Amino acid sequence: MQFQISDEIIEHIQTLIREGKDAELQLYLEEVHHADIAEIIDELELDEATYIFKLLDSEKTSEALMELEEDMRERILDNLSAKEIADELQQMDTDDAADIISELSEERKQEVIDQMEDEEHAEHIVELLRYDEDSAGGMMAKELVMVNENWSVTGCMSEMRAQAENVTRVHSIYVVDDKGKLKGRLSLKDLLTAPSKANISDIYIPKRDYVNVHTEGEEVARIMQKYDLEAIPVVDEMGRLVGRITIDDVVDFIRDEADRDYQMAAGISEDVEADDSIWHLTRARLPWLVLALLGGMVSVTVLGTFDAALAEHQALFFFVPLIAAMAGNVGVQSSAIVLQGLASKSLRGSLMNRLLKEVLLSLLNGMALALLLIVGGVLLLGFDFWFGLTVGVSLVSVIIIASLIGTFVPIILDRMNIDPAMATGPFITTSNDIFGILIYFSIAKVILGF
């Protein structure tokens, strides 16, 4: 049965902490999965959460540490000594340990590294910290099973047993030459069925997929998705095997990227959490809000140039919000589809063909919506023919232009190596508001003649 967090469980744990019943608390949490322990800790006060971390074995708390909300993890780390943090890191795979230590200040990093008893583990963590966190080098773990192509099957088995002790999950067995360069991978089935005196060079699979330490995280995710890989080896500039990336690391990367893109599309310029300080949240939100304000001022200025039209045809004013809203909605829809295609590398073909397709799609949608608007306006609002034609033609035109902007801008930004997620949300909505109002009144001026 799946473990479920409840108020009763949290209250029970808090009672055990207050009464100092350490043995009972340890026994109670012994069979609880580390992900559930993290969820429990997120519900506790900081001093209570720290108490549990200092009470339980590092082998268990190290796994829970990675599952915590970032702000809670940061506060707990602040309450632990350098030695206690080092004990946690020594129980982690190197990629997870590097992620944790990267959140510390430079001074604190050095203190923690100096406290680590396993010098090789510490050296691996320091190596990973040199790479950008969104590159293959920053995502990889040093723990893997690696065999030499010149080893015999018998010798290979004993070496693998020693290496596997430090590897949580053995996804693949990698084959290297005497210089450590990646040659291929070894099938466990072939290893078990091969003659004991055979060499690894006779049975390994030369064909392999790999990435360089500087390969971008998005490309790593694309390759692993395309070839349905559970793990992929990482090589350095000289082709030497230096680590591996597993599917769980890629899933975490994709989730973080999705969160960043979602926030950027919503007009938040920095990575923030709901519990961040007011100053941090303000700094993240304000730039786009300023852009929206400036865009609104431009819209008002454009609207002011048609004051004569509003005086003569007051009904035009009531459709300004509708035109602006449709422009913004269509632009965001178009940009969202393009962003999805750019992220998955499925957006192919020429830019002209893409824009032509959007024009035809927008024309079809626009004509359907305009027909509904005109029929509804004539039957319910008493439109005359020319006014209905004005609003209908304006709606079709605005939808086409908004769709083109929503398609064109993300593609151009991507080709300029600028995150295309910047094109969605406030940017598209604001720009389409301005163009929508301008197009609406320009068409009204032609048809209604003011």
24: domain CATH number?
1.25.60.10
pLDDT of residue 131: 93
Q: What is the CATH number of the domain that holds 241?
A: 3.10.580.10
Verify that 152 and 245 share a domain, yes or no. yes
Q: Which of 138, 153, 184 is the last residue of a domain?
A: 138
pLDDT of residue 136: 94
1 pLDDT exceeds 60?
Answer: no
User: Residue range 16-45: average pLDDT?
Assistant: 90
Residue 171 in tokens = 């996804």
pLDDT of residue 126: 92
Q: Which residues of 368-394 are buried (b: 16+ CB within 10 A; e: fewer)?
A: ebbeebbeebeeeeebeeebbbbbbbb
Verify that 312 and 387 share a domain, yes or no. yes
Q: Judge whether 273 lies within some domain.
A: no
* Residue 151 burial (CB count, 10 A): 17
Q: Judge whether 223 lies within some domain.
A: yes
287 pLDDT exceeds 80?
Answer: no
pLDDT of residue 215: 95
Verify that 160 and 113 share a domain, yes or no. no
pLDDT (tens digit per residue) in 70-102: 888 888 898 889 999 999 998 898 999 999 999
Q: Judge whether 261 lies within some domain.
A: no
- For strands 211-212 and 231-235, give the pairing: parallel
Q: Judge whether 260 lies within some domain.
A: no
pLDDT of residue 274: 57
Verify that 424 and 369 share a domain, yes or no. yes
Verify that 134 and 156 share a domain, yes or no. no
Name the band, by pLDDT with cuts 50, 70 and 90, for residue 236: very high
268 pLDDT exceeds 70?
Answer: no
pLDDT (tens digit per residue) in 43-68: 899 899 999 988 988 888 888 888 88
Verify that 156 and 134 share a domain, yes or no. no
**197 or 117: which carries more pLDDT confidence?**
117
pLDDT of residue 350: 66
450 pLDDT exceeds 70?
Answer: no
Q: Judge whether 262 lies within some domain.
A: no
- The lowest-confidence range among 111-120, 143-152, 280-289 is 280-289
Round to whole Å and give the CA distance between 148 and 112.
34
240 pLDDT exceeds 90?
Answer: yes
Round to whole Å and give the CA distance between 122 and 117.
8
pLDDT (tens digit per residue) in 134-179: 899 999 999 888 889 998 888 887 777 777 666 767 778 899 999 9
- The lowest-confidence range among 179-193, 239-253, 351-365 is 351-365
pLDDT of residue 345: 65
User: Residue range 388-410: average pLDDT?
Assistant: 84
User: Residue range 188-205: average pLDDT?
Assistant: 84
Verify that 85 and 180 share a domain, yes or no. no
- The lowest-confidence range among 201-205, 343-347, 369-373, 374-378 is 343-347
Q: Judge whether 264 lies within some domain.
A: no
Q: Which of 115, 138, 161 is the last residue of a domain?
A: 138
pLDDT of residue 179: 93
Verify that 390 and 283 share a domain, yes or no. yes
- What's the total number of domains in the chain? 3
pLDDT (tens digit per residue) in 288-328: 677 777 877 887 787 777 777 667 777 777 788 888 888 87
pLDDT of residue 372: 84
pLDDT (tens digit per residue) in 429-448: 777 778 888 888 888 888 87
Verify that 319 and 412 share a domain, yes or no. yes
Verify that 127 and 158 share a domain, yes or no. no
Q: Which of 113, 138, 163 is the last residue of a domain?
A: 138
pLDDT of residue 183: 94
Q: Judge whether 1 lies within some domain.
A: no
pLDDT of residue 405: 83
Half-sphere exposure of 180 (CA within 13 A, CB side): 10
- The lowest-confidence range among 14-28, 62-76, 234-248, 377-391 is 377-391
27 pLDDT exceeds 80?
Answer: yes
User: Residue range 318-341: average pLDDT?
Assistant: 78
pLDDT of residue 86: 92
400 pLDDT exceeds 60?
Answer: yes
Verify that 109 and 231 share a domain, yes or no. no
**Average pLDDT of the chain, as a whole number:** 82
Q: What is the CATH number of the domain that holds 372?
A: 1.10.357.20
Stated pTM of the model: 0.67
Verify that 433 and 291 share a domain, yes or no. yes
User: Residue range 334-363: average pLDDT?
Assistant: 72
User: Domain limits at 322?
Assistant: 278-448
Q: Judge whether 168 lies within some domain.
A: yes
